[in-house]
């Protein structure tokens, strides 16, 4: 279909290719006004917009309106093939045009794509497609696939669904807190049927109480399907019948894991709970075994030879798979040449192969302390695809020119063969270039000039990053060291140095060029999108910042630079980390999209993931698209259609969330396991959350969070101010605010409940920061509890530029004191009575859980 005039809403449809030939034996063109040309169905008239379409295209197909009319008239999900049949579209050209139009309608929110490939109009019932996020209290939310605000689901709506189900829902109203309320119309896809829990036997009936508190219904085990499990044992159960309005889910026990929850069991539980594929199908194993372990002469043909270029890899000390290598050299007149070489996974993982199907199913590698569940078999991820030192490897290269202002002015992509000249670690590089350590500089003497060129380039790019207003969150990563039994031997927070940052900037530069290249070539691919903050989160943030005399513009005017400015303003203030964490929580969640929407946090107009194809499937798709474009291929003949890419964006985003939840579950429980060894010890921390039932405190050195329950405060009645995040004693006047520095004693740590409880010893001598009062009068009743800070949320773009692994710093010594008397004895504080009666302490709700087998391997988590 040759386009005459392109409306702004139809960019995707512009990819239909050149005008087909009309000479020779070509089929004569039918009139766009011919009713038979657009037969929709019995009782439905021809396309009312046929004339408009004929003016736009040489060979038009039925308009979007006609497609919507068909779907509304049929009243059911229709596949692409059934739509084509109803619209009398038969030849390949027409079918390809229809496929692209359907993909564009999905992208623009006009259609919803079901799990079996069926399409439905999105606006008929104001339907929203998304994933159910359940709360332990029984209610839930729907996270829309296309982004935007979550939809509230009442406990009644949650009776027929479980956490993780994908559903269609309609908006039925607004609740008293101003949130959209939803009603579930259809369950599109059930969550993984497997879960982990404890056996409970009541009156001869066997139940499994899910370990994940968000799965709020117990599973009733069908008689004869209990594998002889005893009450209290930890098991893997499979849901065989989903819940209905009249009963909970039914299921069967598939494995008995043990009697007692212990750290060595945590990874296995996480794998089972989140249904992480961890065993390779036979077909995948056979294909992996057939891959040549070394680069052959035939594979070198047609590639640029970079074997003599001193490319190096810089990763964490515990990394085993190396996606990327870098090289920089100064240019005459200023600036640098930057070469980013990425493992050529697309050469080895062919479209439609068993390796490809399994990689798509996993979509990402999942990293646990001491374990990894990889996306690709180790013969590829740690072998032929990994840019190991001193061996030949195939790669795809982004070769860039960076000007003296740190901006990329030219770039090109090409296939190459390389040999890494050194495998370097962040710590050793930093010791050489940052600390000027003589031993490190001597050890790295052969590549030291190259490292210093990279550092010089980084300084230019860092200044350019600052000028464009990118948000630079400095978030320490908590690392664990395990002993031979899988028990936590040590833990601590790590921080990034310039070695981490220079690699990050190089990767960001290559990712941007990949996005720009694909957008120019119009090849379907996945882009990495990070939208501006959601309105409700941003309004809460503004209210919070006013307490610290900080201001931000209205939500419709906010830019990344506004966030960066706040971070700079609080750089030297004692509440810096607290404010940074709240700014982080206000961000939207990054996701994959079939079209370029830019990256708000990085202040970039175009962004894709190109640099980690060993561990991320979207990067592999980007490599395939670039390889196809380099051969001169046309968008219309590409392997993937726009609608297929839209579906893959949803799939990969969901798999990424699944991996993050599994990793977070294990990390939280390892923190509990570590703190259980320090019951009675005292630590310094900062108040990061204030609620009506107590204070959440984050320890300064380990970044472990726990609850100081209100009963552990001094003997007084405490009033909760939800707007100013404050607890105030009625008689003593003692105040506890966000950002206060305190000293706590560890009371208890429960691996089972994922809860850590503290007792307040005293505010630190230097005291916490007390925000000045503002003159603004707040509506406390309207504010309600919505200003209470959540314990934790996934970082936006966490897998874009998270800090790679570092060696653990030594933890400070801790003092041990006798454990205090049990709560409930005399001398403990109480919550002040409210208008509705005495305040009831709320439970310290926990996060997800886990199970199965993980392959033990080295870790290369979270880089870029």
Look at 805 and 768; give whichever has higher pLDDT.
Answer: 768
**pLDDT the model gives residue 46:** 65
The one-character DSSP state at 787 is: G
Reference 192, options 237, 159, 129, 147; nearest CA is: 237
> How far is the C-alpha of 355 from the C-alpha of 434, rounded, in Å?
42
Structure tokens that stand for 143 in this block: 């996270």
**pLDDT the model gives residue 404:** 97
**Residue 536 maps to a domain:** yes
**pLDDT the model gives residue 38:** 36
**pLDDT the model gives residue 118:** 83
Burial (CB < 10 A; 0-12, 13-18, 19+), residue 437, is middle
Look at 763 and 649; give whichever has higher pLDDT.
Answer: 649
The one-character DSSP state at 756 is: E
> How far is the C-alpha of 214 from the C-alpha of 198, rounded, in Å?
15
| Residue 459 in this model has a pLDDT that exceeds 60 | yes
**Residue 652 maps to a domain:** no
**Partners of 815 in the β-ladder:** 682
Mention every residue, 6+ apart, whose C-beta is less than 8 A from residue 301. Answer: none
> How far is the C-alpha of 832 from the C-alpha of 140, rounded, in Å?
29
**pLDDT the model gives residue 725:** 80
CATH of the domain at 721: 2.40.50.140
Average pLDDT over residues 545-567: 94
Is the torsion defined by CA of 744, 478, 590, 129 positive or negative?
negative
Is the torsion defined by CA of 641, 646, 651, 655 positive or negative?
positive
In this structure, are 310 and 206 located in the same domain? no
Look at 223 and 47; give whichever has higher pLDDT.
Answer: 223
Structure tokens that stand for 298 in this block: 């035939």
User: Which backbone phi and psi does 804 adopt, to 5 degrees?
Assistant: -70, 175
In this structure, are 106 and 62 located in the same domain? yes
**Residue 756 maps to a domain:** yes
**pLDDT the model gives residue 54:** 80
% of the chain surpassing 90 pLDDT: 57
Highest mean pLDDT among 26-40, 339-353, 527-541: 339-353
| Residue 829 in this model has a pLDDT that exceeds 60 | no
Structure tokens that stand for 317 in this block: 């000390």
**pLDDT the model gives residue 153:** 94
**pLDDT the model gives residue 819:** 37
> How far is the C-alpha of 214 from the C-alpha of 847, rounded, in Å?
8
Work out the pLDDT band at 185, boundaries 50, 70, 90. Answer: confident
Q: Are 726 and 660 contacting, i.e. CB atoms less than 8 angstroms apart?
A: no
Look at 862 and 685; give whichever has higher pLDDT.
Answer: 685
- Using DSSP's 3-state secondary structure scheme, residue 64 falls into helix
In this structure, are 322 and 234 located in the same domain? no
In this structure, are 95 and 133 located in the same domain? no
**pLDDT the model gives residue 28:** 39
**Residue 149 maps to a domain:** yes
Listed as own residue / partner, the contacts of 111-116 with beta carbons closer than 8 Å and 24 or more positions apart are 111/67, 111/68, 111/71, 112/168, 113/643, 113/646, 113/647, 114/77, 114/188, 115/166, 115/188, 115/189, 116/77, 116/79
Structure tokens that stand for 725 in this block: 């995040």
Residue ranges making up the domain that contains 581: 532-587
In this structure, are 342 and 377 located in the same domain? yes
Tokens 């002015």 identify what position? 409
**pLDDT the model gives residue 179:** 76
Tokens 């515990």 identify what position? 318
Half-sphere exposure of 9 (CA within 13 A, CB side): 9
Look at 200 and 789; give whichever has higher pLDDT.
Answer: 200
Total domains, the chain: 6
**Residue 721 maps to a domain:** yes
User: Which backbone phi and psi does 74 adopt, to 5 degrees?
Assistant: -75, -35
**pLDDT the model gives residue 9:** 39
The H or E element containing residue 671 is helix 642-676
Which of 523, 552, 579 marks a domain boundary? 523
Reference 689, options 656, 648, 722, 716; nearest CA is: 722
**pLDDT the model gives residue 523:** 94
In this structure, are 451 and 559 located in the same domain? no
**Partners of 477 in the β-ladder:** 494
**pLDDT the model gives residue 34:** 39
> How far is the C-alpha of 668 from the C-alpha of 656, rounded, in Å?
18
In this structure, are 307 and 354 located in the same domain? yes
Tokens 């009398």 identify what position? 88
Structure tokens that stand for 710 in this block: 């209100």
Reference 693, options 861, 859, 507, 834; nearest CA is: 834
The alpha carbons of the chain give a radius of gyration, in whole angstroms, of 29
pLDDT digits (tens, 9 = 90+) for 110-138: 787 776 688 888 765 467 889 999 998 89
Mention every residue, 6+ apart, whose C-beta is less than 8 A from residue 652. Answer: 363, 364, 526, 592, 617, 618
Q: To the nearest whole number, what is the mean pLDDT of the chain?
A: 83
> How far is the C-alpha of 416 from the C-alpha of 218, rounded, in Å?
55
Average pLDDT over residues 543-559: 92
Work out the pLDDT band at 36, boundaries 50, 70, 90. Answer: very low
Q: Summarize the chain as % helix, strand, coil (round to 5).
A: 30, 25, 45
Q: Where are the beta strands (DSSP E) in 318-380?
A: 324-330, 336-343, 366-368, 371-373
> How far is the C-alpha of 32 from the C-alpha of 51, rounded, in Å?
7
**pLDDT the model gives residue 74:** 81
> How far is the C-alpha of 519 from the C-alpha of 844, rounded, in Å?
47
Look at 108 and 732; give whichever has higher pLDDT.
Answer: 732
In this structure, are 242 and 334 located in the same domain? no
Highest mean pLDDT among 55-69, 146-160, 411-425: 411-425
> How far is the C-alpha of 151 from the C-alpha of 142, rounded, in Å?
5
**Residue 156 maps to a domain:** yes
**pLDDT the model gives residue 346:** 98
Reference 509, options 820, 864, 133, 271; nearest CA is: 864
CATH of the domain at 223: 2.40.50.700
In this structure, are 447 and 504 located in the same domain? yes
Work out the pLDDT band at 763, boundaries 50, 70, 90. Answer: confident
Look at 309 and 722; give whichever has higher pLDDT.
Answer: 309
**pLDDT the model gives residue 716:** 86
> How far is the C-alpha of 449 from the C-alpha of 66, rounded, in Å?
64
**Residue 353 maps to a domain:** yes
Lowest mean pLDDT among 31-40, 90-99, 214-223, 268-277: 31-40
Average pLDDT over residues 267-276: 92
Mention every residue, 6+ apart, whose C-beta is less than 8 A from residue 538. Answer: 552, 555, 558, 586
Highest mean pLDDT among 419-428, 489-498, 735-744, 810-819: 419-428
- Using DSSP's 3-state secondary structure scheme, residue 424 falls into strand
In this structure, are 328 and 473 located in the same domain? yes
In this structure, are 146 and 95 located in the same domain? no
**Residue 88 maps to a domain:** yes
| Residue 770 in this model has a pLDDT that exceeds 80 | no
Reference 96, options 627, 519, 648, 524; nearest CA is: 524
Look at 365 and 16; give whichever has higher pLDDT.
Answer: 365
CA-angle at 611, arms to 609 and 613, nearest 5°: 85
Work out the pLDDT band at 809, boundaries 50, 70, 90. Answer: very low
Work out the pLDDT band at 49, boundaries 50, 70, 90. Answer: confident
Look at 147 and 742; give whichever has higher pLDDT.
Answer: 742
**pLDDT the model gives residue 806:** 33
User: Which backbone phi and psi does 754 adopt, to 5 degrees?
Assistant: 60, 40
Work out the pLDDT band at 106, boundaries 50, 70, 90. Answer: confident
> How far is the C-alpha of 217 from the C-alpha of 165, rounded, in Å?
14
| Residue 42 in this model has a pLDDT that exceeds 90 | no
| Residue 855 in this model has a pLDDT that exceeds 70 | no
> How far is the C-alpha of 611 from the C-alpha of 601, rounded, in Å?
18
In this structure, are 498 and 556 located in the same domain? no
Work out the pLDDT band at 476, boundaries 50, 70, 90. Answer: confident
């Amino acid at each position: 279909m040759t386009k005459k005039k392109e409306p702004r809403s139809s960019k995707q449809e512009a990819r239909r290719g050149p005008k087909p030939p009309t000479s020779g034996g070509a089929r004569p063109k039918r009139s766009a006004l011919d009713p038979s040309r657009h037969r929709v169905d019995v009782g439905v008239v021809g396309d009312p917009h046929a004339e408009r379409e004929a003016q736009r295209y040489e060979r038009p197909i039925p308009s979007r309106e006609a497609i919507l009319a068909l779907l509304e008239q049929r009243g059911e999900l229709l596949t692409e093939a059934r739509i084509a049949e109803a619209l009398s579209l038969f030849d390949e050209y027409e079918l390809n045009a229809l496929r692209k139009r359907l993909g564009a309608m999905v992208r623009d929110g006009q259609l919803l794509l079901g799990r079996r490939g069926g399409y439905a109009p999105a606006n008929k019932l104001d339907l929203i497609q998304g994933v159910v996020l359940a709360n332990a209290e029984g209610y839930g939310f729907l996270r829309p696939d296309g982004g935007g605000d979550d939809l509230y689901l009442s406990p009644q709506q949650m009776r027929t669904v479980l956490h993780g189900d994908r559903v269609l829902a309609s908006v039925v109203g607004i609740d008293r807190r101003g949130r959209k309320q939803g009603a579930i119309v259809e369950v599109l896809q059930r969550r993984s049927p497997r879960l982990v829990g404890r056996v409970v036997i009541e009156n001869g009936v066997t139940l499994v109480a899910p370990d994940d508190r968000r799965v709020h219904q117990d599973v009733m085990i069908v008689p004869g399907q209990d594998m002889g499990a005893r009450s209290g044992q930890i098991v893997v159960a499979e849901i065989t019948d989903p819940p209905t309005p009249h009963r909970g889910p039914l299921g069967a026990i598939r494995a008995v894991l043990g009697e007692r929850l212990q750290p060595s069991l945590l990874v296995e539980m996480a794998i089972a709970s989140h249904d992480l594929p961890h065993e390779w199908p036979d077909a995948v194993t056979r294909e992996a075994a057939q891959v040549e372990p070394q680069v052959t002469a035939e594979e070198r043909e047609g590639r640029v030879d970079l074997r003599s270029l001193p490319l190096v890899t810089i990763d964490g000390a515990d990394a085993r798979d190396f996606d990327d290598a870098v090289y920089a050299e100064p240019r005459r007149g200023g600036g640098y040449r930057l070469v980013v070489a990425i493992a050529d996974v697309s050469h080895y993982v062919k479209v439609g192969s068993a390796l490809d199907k399994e990689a798509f199913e996993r979509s990402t590698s999942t990293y646990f302390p001491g374990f990894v569940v990889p996306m690709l078999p180790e013969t590829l991820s740690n072998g032929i695809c990994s840019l190991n030192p001193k061996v030949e490897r195939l790669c795809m290269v982004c070769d860039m020119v960076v000007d003296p202002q740190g901006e990329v002015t030219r770039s090109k992509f090409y296939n190459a063969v390389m040999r890494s000249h050194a495998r370097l670690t962040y710590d050793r590089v930093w010791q050489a270039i940052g600390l000027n350590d003589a031993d490190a500089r001597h050890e790295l003497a052969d590549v030291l000039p190259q490292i210093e060129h990279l550092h010089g380039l980084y300084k230019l790019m860092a200044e350019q990053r600052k000028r464009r207003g990118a948000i630079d969150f400095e978030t320490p990563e908590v690392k664990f060291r395990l002993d031979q039994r899988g028990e936590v031997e040590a833990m601590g927070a790590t921080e990034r140095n310039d070695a981490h940052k220079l690699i990050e900037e190089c990767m960001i530069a290559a990712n941007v060029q990949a996005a720009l290249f694909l957008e120019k070539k119009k090849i379907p691919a996945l882009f990495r999108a990070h939208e501006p903050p959601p309105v409700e989160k941003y309004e809460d943030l503004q209210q919070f910042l006013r307490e610290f005399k900080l201001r931000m513009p209205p939500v419709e005017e906010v830019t990344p630079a506004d966030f960066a400015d706040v971070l700079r303003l609080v750089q030297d203030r004692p509440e810096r980390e607290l404010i940074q964490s709240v700014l982080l929580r206000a961000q939207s969640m990054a996701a994959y999209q079939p079209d370029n929407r830019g990256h708000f946090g990085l202040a970039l107009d175009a962004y894709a993931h190109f640099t980690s194809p060993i561990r991320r499937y979207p990067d592999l798709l980007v490599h395939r698209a670039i390889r196809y474009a380099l051969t001169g291929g046309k968008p219309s003949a590409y392997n993937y259609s726009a609608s297929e890419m839209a579906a893959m964006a949803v799939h990969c985003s969901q798999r990424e969330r699944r991996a993050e939840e599994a990793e977070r579950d294990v990390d939280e429980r390892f923190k509990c396991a570590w703190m259980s060894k320090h019951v009675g010890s005292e630590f310094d921390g900062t108040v990061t959350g204030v609620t009506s039932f107590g204070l959440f405190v984050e320890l300064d050195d380990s970044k472990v969070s726990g609850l100081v329950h209100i009963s552990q405060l001094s003997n007084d009645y405490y009033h909760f101010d939800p707007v100013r995040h404050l607890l105030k004693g009625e008689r003593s006047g003692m105040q506890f605010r966000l950002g206060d520095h305190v000293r706590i004693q560890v009371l208890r740590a429960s691996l089972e409940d994922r809860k850590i409880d503290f007792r307040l010893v005293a505010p630190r001598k230097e005291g916490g920061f007390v925000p000045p009062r503002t003159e603004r009068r707040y509506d406390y009743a309207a504010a309600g509890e919505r200003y209470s800070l959540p314990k934790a949320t996934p970082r936006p773009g966490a897998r874009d530029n998270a800090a790679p692994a570092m060696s653990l710093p030594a933890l400070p010594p801790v003092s041990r004191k006798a454990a205090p008397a049990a709560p409930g004895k005399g001398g403990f504080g109480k919550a002040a009575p409210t208008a509705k009666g005495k305040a009831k302490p709320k439970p310290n709700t926990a996060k997800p859980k886990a199970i199965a087998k993980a392959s033990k391997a080295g870790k290369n988590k979270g880089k870029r």
